[in-house]
Chains A and B, each alone.
Chain A
Amino acid sequence: MADTTDACREPILSVRNLDVTLKTAIGELHATRGISYDICPGETFAIVGESGCGKSISSMALMGLLPRIARARADHCLFDGQEILSLSRRQLSKIRGNTLSMIFQDPMTSLNPVYTIGDQLTEVFVRHGKGTRAQARDRAVFLLERVGIKNAAERLNAYPHQLSGGLRQRVVIAMAMMCSPKLIIADEPTTALDVTVQMRTLALLSELQKEFGLAIILITHDLGVVASLSDRVAVMYAGQIVETAPTAQLFADPTHPYTQGLIRCIPSYGEPHPDAELPTIPGMVPSLIGRQKGCAFRNRCPLAFADCAEGDTIALRETHGEHAYRCLRPHDALMAHWRGLHGEPA
């Protein structure tokens, strides 16, 4: 399956068969199973899925920020040519915040309340030996202005509580940019923001990406965010990537029944009547404790049949281009089902 996501010659990040397990009182929990993807310089790769599907923890594993009960294993996890899972804490800390940085979900809590934003912006620059404190200040002012904060030089002396949520997230974005990273992991960067601020923040991320040639991993549960920002998408369910495709293609031809369900659940996408009930995917996510057999989605899948419970795992199948999905049903049958959902003739 390695070739399915091989979109460029020299990916900035290449992950193969990443497994994250957590030791719990009731057994080993498989948070992610066999996650593989490549990310090219300058592209946005979205990982989408519901809460608990393993999308956040897989990126925490890359940052070396897993909780103590968690273990990560992979065939390889190459970032910028380095195997990051086997780095020591000291070596890893030289990468974090430097060439690989992260934007957290909640800007209200991810800035330290007792230090000025200037202090928090400059410290990462000085820590990674990018220059003096004065140079760090200049860089901070430049970036704050770039992310659209007025009076940037004065704002350096402001404390987080003096800024609104949207402004704080801009500060967090500027902080992630301080050392000119090659890859930013953005974990639900707009979920905690007002809807009006969300779109502006996404537009800003997109602009910065083009301007500085960043690659972005965008972790989200919001397909609207995926559609507006990403180049390629991976849909995760119960710790596995169940479908991956270029963004436009995923929305045009969603192949896996779970992806189809997700897209159908977007309001105004498949429902012509405003007062009609919104569709949902019935059932519950399976327990991730212990070994999983067959397809994890089979209990909620409208197309499941006996074979779905067989075998260790369902293989990822390629359709065309870079589109691949993890389902036993043939592509034609799945597409016919999708058309059927819209009342078109099968």
Chain B
Amino acid sequence: MWRYFVKRLGIAVLVVFTVSVISFGLLRLSGDLAQNLAGEGATQAQVQDIRVLYGLDRPLPVQYVDWAGRAITGDLGRSLFTNDPVFHLIAARMPVTAVLALGSLLLAICVALPLGVFAAVYRNSWIDRAALGMAVFGSAVPSFWFALILIYVFGVQLRWLPISGSTTWWHFVLPMVTLSTMVMPQIMRLTRGGMIEALDADYVKMAWAKGLNPGVVFFKHALRNALLPVVALAAVSLGFLLGGSVIVESVFSLNGIGSLAYESIKRADFPVVQSILFVLSFIYVLLTLLSDLINARIDPRIRLH
């Protein structure tokens, strides 16, 4: 188990390094940052001044080492727009996004897991078809449109829930429902597929032959074997939810990382954009590592690798 953990950790560190290089490079490939900052009417001399001021005239590797060296110590630079430390900007916005993403994932799992299990147990029955229908709906519907429908029905017509801001827990309900419908279908399908495979396996026949109760057969013997890909998917989904909540945050006027990223891109505030990219990929890598560890707990065979 320890060897496995150290190996995974080593790989994770390498991935974080690679991702930081790529995100650093991509942002600089996206155009001349100095030109963007100076604005359209700026003269060549002004652009050159800005380039020197922010150190953009130096060779790329030097810029990277300078940035990465400070990022390791937690110094992500300052916003070009507000002059606040980027670390503070991100820390201030993170809770909203984290609550939104975690809540959505939890909601998605709570619905998708039992639904997937029942769909597999009652294969080709109405419950299976209803679950598959919902999955198709969930993957086909654009989130901004679904968000607007929810706002119209539950906010405007029924007046049950608030539709904008993040002051109370109630404000998170509609955004969470919107986001969870985006990840629910895959989790449900993967659970269903894994369960169908597990239910046909000999060890499940054996479990029936031992006279175990249906609940024990389904949830102890079958589900744990079906769960491995679901855990990996859930971790990836959480990363997706953290980064992909831009649209939902703007529809519901939530001040999270997504809206910060959106604003910063519009303002060409590259230290902020750079840092958000890096922080999100860092979290993503952490989640993947976490899912590897959970899977090693679930399946003893993984610990050998």
Contact = CB atoms under 8 A, between A and B. Distances in A.
Genuine A/B complex: yes
B205 A110 contact: yes
A204 interface: no
The 9 closest A-B pairs by CB, nearest first: A97-B210, A96-B211, A97-B211, A109-B202, A112-B203, A110-B202, A93-B211, A159-B300, A124-B210
A115 to B, nearest CB: 8
A149 to B, nearest CB: 18
Contact of B201 (A63, A109, A161, A172): A109
Contact of A124 (B203, B205, B211): B211
A104 B212 contact: no
Interface in B200-238: 201-203, 205-213, 216, 221, 224-225
B123 to A, nearest CB: 9
B299 A113 contact: yes
Interface string A58-98: 00000101000000000000000000000000001111111
24 contacts: A65-B208, A93-B208, A95-B211, A96-B210, A102-B206, A106-B202, A109-B202, A110-B202, A112-B207, A113-B203, A113-B299, A113-B300, A114-B224, A114-B225, A114-B300, A123-B210, A123-B216, A124-B210, A124-B211, A124-B212, A127-B210, A127-B211, A127-B213, A161-B304
A63 B210 contact: no
Contacts of B300: 113-114, 159, 161
A92 B205 CA distance: 14
B3 interface: no
Interface residues on B, range: 20 to 34
A114 B207 CA distance: 13
Given A111-B203, A112-B203, A114-B225, A161 B301 contact: yes
A98 B212 CA distance: 10
A127 B212 contact: yes
Contact of A159 (B206, B221, B301): B301
Nearest to A89: B214
B294 to A, nearest CB: 13
A128 interface: yes
A104 B205 contact: yes
Of A63, A65, A113, A172, most buried by chain B (CB within 10 Å of CB) is: A113
B287 interface: no
B298 interface: yes
A240 interface: no
Contacts of A95: 211
B205 A93 contact: no
B39 to A, nearest CB: 60
Given A110-B206, A114-B224, A123-B212, 4 more contacts: A104-B209, A111-B203, A112-B225, A114-B298
Nearest to A64: B208
A175 interface: yes
Contacts of A97: 209-212
The B interface, classified by DSSP as helix, strand, loop or mixed, is: helix
Nearest to A125: B210
Interface of A: 63, 65, 92-98, 101-102, 104, 106, 109-115, 123-124, 127-128, 159, 161, 172, 175
B240 to A, nearest CB: 27
Contacts of B221: 112, 115
A161 B302 CA distance: 11
Interface in B275-305: 298-301, 304
B225 A101 contact: no
Contacts of B213: 93, 127
Of B206, B212, B213, B216, most buried by chain A (CB within 10 Å of CB) is: B206
Nearest to A178: B210
Contacts of B301: 113, 159, 161
A110 B209 CA distance: 11
Of B205, B210, B221, B298, most buried by chain A (CB within 10 Å of CB) is: B210
Contacts of A101: 209-210
A173 B225 CA distance: 23
A112 B304 CA distance: 17
A127 B220 CA distance: 13
A97 B210 CA distance: 4
Contacts of A106: 202
Nearest to A158: B300
A179 B211 CA distance: 11
A75 B27 CA distance: 79
A36 to B, nearest CB: 24
A128 B225 CA distance: 24
Nearest to B225: A114
Nearest to A68: B123
A240 to B, nearest CB: 26
Contact of A94 (B201, B211, B298): B211
A97 B216 CA distance: 14
Nearest to B207: A112
A301 B258 CA distance: 79
Contacts of B212: 93, 97, 123-124, 127
A104 B299 CA distance: 23
Contacts of A102: 206, 209
Contacts of A104: 202, 205-206, 209
Interface string B185-209: 0000000000000000111011111
B205 A65 contact: yes
A250 B115 CA distance: 55
B202 A96 contact: no
A114 B299 contact: yes
Contacts of A124: 210-212
